[in-house]
Structure 1
Amino acid sequence: MPTLGHRLRAVRAAWVAPEPPPSRPSGGGRRPPAPAARVPATPPPRRLRTGRPASVELTLAAPVDLRPDPWQRLIAVGSILSVLVVAVGLWMTNEANRDQQRLSAQGQITERYATSVEQLGSEKLDVRLGAVYALERIARDSAQDEGPIIEVLCAFLRTHAPVQPALQGRAEESPPDVRAAVTVLGRRPRPTWPEHRVLDLTNVYVSIPGAALPRSWFAGTELALWDLTYTDLTGSTFTGALLHRAHLDSATLVDADLRDAVLTEVTATRANLAGANLSGADLTGAKLSNTDLSGADLRDAKLRGADLTGANLRGADLTGATVRGADLTGADLSGAKLSDPYVLEHLTRPSP
């Protein structure tokens, strides 16, 4: 009887080399040799028609939960609210700081204003002079204080430079503090504001020959009898101003605005009024001998009795002007516009 070991050896032999199927014996009674066992070849990977390997489809072992976490949402909302609270706090802090700075600055301006006004009454000239310029600085820094400062300086001039009774000719020159007050008022920073347009200088007399007041603003202001000889008033505004018997000898008024100004009996010999606007101005009895009025606008101006001997009126516009009775002896009217037939008939223009 075969043992267990014999059986195992028989099974191993049959597994390694299986017996070929039986075949019919050929002539000679011998069987052909059994063919060698073939190992099945591993099939090649399947490819698409493009020659690329087929893609592998992955599947999740379990579905993923994509629902938002309420705690994460709460944390995000809390972060946004905290940022907003911080931003609002910073804004409120900055506004409070700005308000504090404004109050502090206003307090300093008020203190400076009170000190300057007090110094205007000082007996020392240099203290009064410093107070005038300190008030000018305050007016430039604070628009709301400009009006009161103008009123204070006008009152200062009415007190320190009143018109002398029965003034004949010219009085002595004004002191430096009066000159400084006139200069500061003339160049005030906001003269076109309605409350700042007209200066109350009633019954004030000022003598400031040779002063530098270019582009000053004295519209509607009373400047009667003022001594402004040799003064630079280039581009200044005197619209509607009262300059009765003012002294403007050799003054520079190039491109000045003197519309509707009252210049009766004014003395402006050898003054430079080239390009000035004198339309509607009253120049009755004015002394304008040897004055440069070239290119000036004198439309509808009143020149009755004015002394224009030797005046330069080249290119001036005298349309509608009243020139009867004016002395135009030797005046240069080349290129001037005249509409009065009387003047056209009786004037002899100089040869060019």
Structure 2
Amino acid sequence: MLLMLAIAAVTTLGAAWLIWFMLGNGRLPKLNGDTAGLELIKVALAITAGIGATVALVVAYRKQRLSEAAEKRERAKHFHERYVTASEQLYSATAGVRQAGVYAMASLADDWDEGRQNCIDVLCGYMRMPYTPPEQPVPEGATPQQVAEYERNEREASMDRHVRRAVMDTIGWKLRAVPVYGNTWHEHIFDLTGAVIDGGDLSGARIIGGWVKFDGARFTGKVVRFNDASFSGGFVTFNDATFDSGHVDFRATRFSDVIVDFSGAKFSGATVSFDEGHFGAMLLDFRNSELTSGFLALTNAEFAGSTVAFDFAQLQGGKLGFDNSDFSAGSVGFEATRFGGSSVQFDNSEFTGAAVTFAGAKFLDGRVTFHNAAFRSPSVGFKYAHFKGATVDLSTPNTYTSPPSFDDFPDGVPEGLILPDPVGPTKD
């Protein structure tokens, strides 16, 4: 800007000197004759006016830039003050103030595009704080003082549950909105690693990118809703999470172009339902997971291009259901899975194209049934499987035009493997 002002000053002085020179030397143009001199003066005056206008524009632009910078600093200061206030509320000793802090932080995240991830991190950080859900049993043989302390802890936990539920519901509320890149909560990271989750409504959420992390989390006691959600990008991970009670509901959820990872998860009492789910081109990973009790339901589902992996899983108890499902494309793998006591049901399902493999699986205990199933594609295989105590019942299929494939059985069909009569297994 200083350079432009200097150039303008020099140019203006030059034009002024030119006029002075002409006047000072008696060369003022006459009205009736010296048209060249008159035009020269006009040019000099025009140059001077143009330079003046340019200087005025530069000065105005500079003022605007300074004003915008000041406004930006003021805006940043305002957001910072709101952030500090909401954080202080969120970590107040009073539950009602903490809940107000949840909504204040969420409101700030809506307004502050550059700081939205920071606000989300604070809310998720609250969920990762130590927490014991209420409704715990009174310690046996507790003294009156211990009972009083127990009752006080129960009251505090009950109030904190409302705050934590507000965090989960707020995340669900924001993810139900129509995604607008850079202006909504979608495509951000929600780190709930190790959190205790005992309720929350994320039904209808739209996961289109980013990362929702429940790794090592514990789901207990209440209902967590993901029903009618759509997962169409990014990552949703439950690595090593524990589902010990309550209900995690993924009913009627649609999955495509996303990785949903339950590898290493432990299902020990909860109901986790994917009933009526649609699994497109995506990965649903249960590798190395453990099912000891409860119900893992993939019933009434459509597998139309997904990769569903239960490889190396331990199915020791509880129930795993694929009833009334359609396996049309993609793959479902139980490679090297240990069937050690769970009830696994494929009843009334249709196998029309998806590769369903039990290669190397060990059927040691429990029951696997295919009652009224339709085998219309040679895509179900039990190659290298071991049958040593469990019941695998294929005796009553609806359709058996493309039976499952097995190894040869030189010593006869293993005990526990029940095939349709008189149709036996096919051989490669």
- Common topology (TM > 0.5): yes
Structure 1's consecutive aligned runs of 4 or more residues displaced over 6 angstroms after TM superposition are 192-195, 343-346
CA offsets per residue over residues 37-72 of structure 1, 9 Å max, x none?
xxxxxxxxxxxxxxxxxxxxxxxxx98845772221
- Measured after TM superposition, the shift of residue 136 of structure 1 is 3.1
The verdict on how the C-alpha distance between 1:156 and 1:230 changes in structure 2, with shifts beyond 3 A counting, is same
When normalised by structure 2's length, the TM-score is 0.52
Amino acid of the residue matched to residue 60 of structure 2? Answer: L
- Measured after TM superposition, the shift of residue 252 of structure 1 is 5.7
Structure 2 counterpart SS, 1:159: coil
Aligned equivalent of 1:104? 74
Aligned equivalent of 1:131? 101
- Measured after TM superposition, the shift of residue 99 of structure 1 is 2.2
Aligned equivalent of 1:182? 168
Map 1:126-275 onto structure 2 (within 5 A).
126-161=96-131, 175-185=161-171, 187=175, 188-191=185-188, 197=211, 199=213, 202-209=216-223, 211-212=225-226, 214-215=229-230, 219-222=236-239, 223-225=241-243, 227-232=246-251, 234-235=253-254, 239-242=260-263, 243-245=265-267, 247-249=271-273, 253-255=277-279, 257-262=282-287, 263-265=289-291, 267-269=295-297, 271-275=299-303
The verdict on how the C-alpha distance between 1:316 and 1:322 changes in structure 2, with shifts beyond 3 A counting, is farther
- Measured after TM superposition, the shift of residue 124 of structure 1 is 4.6
CA offsets per residue over residues 170-227 of structure 1, 9 Å max, x none?
xx99934323333455644223799963636545445441625623676234432164
Comparing 327-336 and 76-85, the one that deviates more: 327-336
Alignment of 1:298 with 2:331, yes or no, is yes
Counterpart contact for 2:210–2:235, Cα < 8 Å: no
Distance in 1 between the 2:372 and 2:131 partners? 38
Return 5+ residue gaps in structure 1 as ranges. 1-61
Larger radius of gyration: 1
CA offsets per residue over residues 96-129 of structure 1, 9 Å max, x none?
2322232222222222222222222335544433
The verdict on how the C-alpha distance between 1:114 and 1:65 changes in structure 2, with shifts beyond 3 A counting, is closer
Percent identity between the two aligned chains: 14
Amino acid of the residue matched to residue 191 of structure 1? Answer: H
Amino acid of the residue matched to residue 248 of structure 1? Answer: V
Distance in 2 between the 1:128 and 1:304 partners? 46
Alignment of 1:338 with 2:362, yes or no, is no
Amino acid of the residue matched to residue 398 of structure 2? Answer: P
- Measured after TM superposition, the shift of residue 80 of structure 1 is 1.8
Counterpart contact for 1:259–1:279, Cα < 8 Å: yes
The verdict on how the C-alpha distance between 1:202 and 1:292 changes in structure 2, with shifts beyond 3 A counting, is same
Return 5+ residue gaps in structure 2 as ranges. 1-31, 138-156, 176-184, 192-208, 386-391, 401-428
The verdict on how the C-alpha distance between 1:180 and 1:215 changes in structure 2, with shifts beyond 3 A counting, is farther
Structure 2 counterpart SS, 1:268: strand
When normalised by structure 1's length, the TM-score is 0.62
Alignment of 1:317 with 2:346, yes or no, is no
Amino acid of the residue matched to residue 268 of structure 1? Answer: L
Aligned equivalent of 1:49? none
The verdict on how the C-alpha distance between 1:346 and 1:253 changes in structure 2, with shifts beyond 3 A counting, is closer
Structure 2 counterpart SS, 1:247: strand
Comparing 91-100 and 204-213, the one that deviates more: 204-213
The verdict on how the C-alpha distance between 1:284 and 1:234 changes in structure 2, with shifts beyond 3 A counting, is same
- Measured after TM superposition, the shift of residue 327 of structure 1 is 0.8
The verdict on how the C-alpha distance between 1:143 and 1:78 changes in structure 2, with shifts beyond 3 A counting, is same
Counterpart contact for 1:157–1:204, Cα < 8 Å: no
Structure 2 counterpart SS, 1:350: coil
- Give the aligned length: 286
Distance in 2 between the 1:65 and 1:250 partners? 93
Structure 1 counterpart SS, 2:295: coil
Alignment of 1:350 with 2:391, yes or no, is no
Amino acid of the residue matched to residue 274 of structure 1? Answer: E
